[in-house]
Structure 1
Amino acid sequence: MNLANKITLARIFLVPVVMIFLLVKFEIGTIEMHSVTLTISEIIATSVFILAAITDGLDGYIARKKKIVTNLGKFLDPLADKLLITAALVSLVEMQRLDAWIAIVIISREFAVTGLRLIAASEGNVIAASPLGKLKTVVQIIAIVALMLNNVPFSYLTFPFADIAVIVAVIITIFSGLDYFYKNRKIVTMNEI
């Protein structure tokens, strides 16, 4: 197994770590910041999530630079991304920091685009990540981090950064999904029954 694939696997293994530190109530301390309390567990979970998110770009960069792109990597990379984002969203819903409908919209888009890619792959076509799709991922990560940190440090300024980031993430998620389907509409229409 090459280095890029090992990094991708590491991202998958970090997913339960993020969930455990977000959802299990460890008694390891809290930090108070202007009427917002963060647990040390939440800070650890956020740090691990950021590390995992960074590996998303790193594994692809290494695979392309060293010319070690593999079919396993093509399968594992999007799987790891979806597991990380989905786990974080579900955890945030459980923590009551995110409305369930927002998580459902984002996760549904991921399933729909994955389905489109599978249809394309069955016909020998590859649907590469679009610039809008990459932007969607970055905005989702920013929104998730802001929610994990309960809007710190923006809560000090009473600025609803996390709420705004979530709204932007939902809008870009929907538009990027529509963009994939529009640009690949021939694949969809060719497979109609």
Structure 2
Amino acid sequence: MLPTFETDRLILRPRAMKDIEDCLAMDRDPEVTKFIPGPWNDPEAHRLFLTGRITADFGAGLGYWSIFAKKNRQQFLGWVLLIPADAVGPEIEIGWRLNRTAWGKGFATEAARSVLTHAFATLRLEYVIADIAPGNVASIRVAQKLGLSARHETRYLDQPFASYQIDRAAFETNASAY
């Protein structure tokens, strides 16, 4: 079972099937999925993909967390993940997706910071990656705020992505600045 996290403004709880409609609605916004290839325009494939991701066992301490505002605990803001890269590994990746109404408020950084703390302090991972499409300036900025830096180019579903990385020592050094 994944832990639940609380930050100053957010509650992150393990994503569950009760979140599927909120996730489907978020992914139907073309601005939200603009930089992420996926089955977003095929309702059946999209639901099947999400069901698989929600019910998968990614390993101890790994998975997805749904993000909610503390001020409105019913308001689904998005999710953050810590799973094997592209769900197969071997590297462990962090990622985030938020509803457009939650953009520009620092929620992605705040949520991802909690999950990175879990990755390094609890799971004792050596490093974590984030693969981000080159044009996704907002996600690149979140990665930079978290202390991740670009390492190399990679591909996801035959599209170019930049692979960002942070190791435990760098995170622990940066953690004192939070």
Question: Which structure: greater helix fraction?
Answer: 1
Q: TM-score of the superposition, structure 1-length normalised?
A: 0.26
Which structure has the higher relative contact order (CA within 8 Å, separation 6+)?
Answer: 1
Q: TM-score of the superposition, structure 2-length normalised?
A: 0.28
Question: Which structure: greater strand fraction?
Answer: 2
